[in-house]
Amino acid sequence: MQRTQFGEMACSIARTLDVIGEPWSPLILRDVWVGLSRFDQLQADLGISRKVLTERLGHLVEQGVLERHPYDNRPRYEYRLTAKGAELVDLLMVMTAWGDRWLAGEAGPPVLYRHHACGEIAAVDLRCDHCGEPMHAGDVDPLAGPGSAP
């Protein structure tokens, strides 16, 4: 008996969860994204147990989302986002947008993002990569794709 593995399912959501779905993983990614890159920094910022942090970092490196590499002659390492990991930041931005909208309350969002292109405080918006029109829950029909059959 073991915990269910989502990676085996024919579903990109489940497979993505297999990479960053474990507790803490998205927060680790967030920290690395904003520049916290060393073990002790992450541990202190998150308050995560060192054991679990070790496991998560190992998994994220294994999945090609983070890269561990030395920054000193001593055995010191820092973690960086790979290209694969940087694209996961899209996910973080959408989570941020949703949390800002539905959970921030009176106080307002804890963090704001300034968009380089326009210089404004902004949030993300989902568009169709084909026609550029908005793309949300009710705007699509799911169809079986090539990777669906056994």
Partner DNA sequence: CACCCGGAGTTCCGTAAGGGAACCCCGAAG
Partner DNA sequence: CTTCGGGGTTCCCTTACGGAACTCCGGGTG
| 50: contact with DNA by CB under 7 A | yes
Q: Which stretch binds a copy of itself (CB under 8 A): 6-14, 36-44, 54-62, 66-74?
A: 6-14
Q: Which residues, in sequence order, are CB contacts of 38 under 8 Å at separation 6+?
A: 76, 77, 78, 79
| 51: contact with DNA by CB under 7 A | yes
Decide: helix, strand or coil at residue 70: strand
Q: HSE on the CB side for 72, CA within 13 Å?
A: 6
Q: Which stretch binds a copy of itself (CB under 8 A): 36-44, 54-62, 72-80, 132-140?
A: 132-140
Structure-block tokens of residue 70: 């030395």
**Could you say which of 54, 64, 101, 134 contacts DNA (CB under 7 A)?**
54
129 binds, among a copy of itself, DNA, none (CB under 5 to 8 A by kind): a copy of itself
| 116: contact with a copy of itself by CB under 8 A | yes
Structure-block tokens of residue 119: 């210089």
**Closest alpha carbon to 60 in 81, 30, 37:** 81
- Beta carbon nearer to a copy of itself, 75 or 110: 110
| 1: contact with DNA by CB under 7 A | yes
Decide: helix, strand or coil at residue 80: strand
Residues 38, 46: contact at Cβ < 8 Å?
no
* Interacting residues with DNA (CB under 7 A): 1-4, 22-24, 38-41, 47-52, 54-55, 57, 68, 71, 73-78
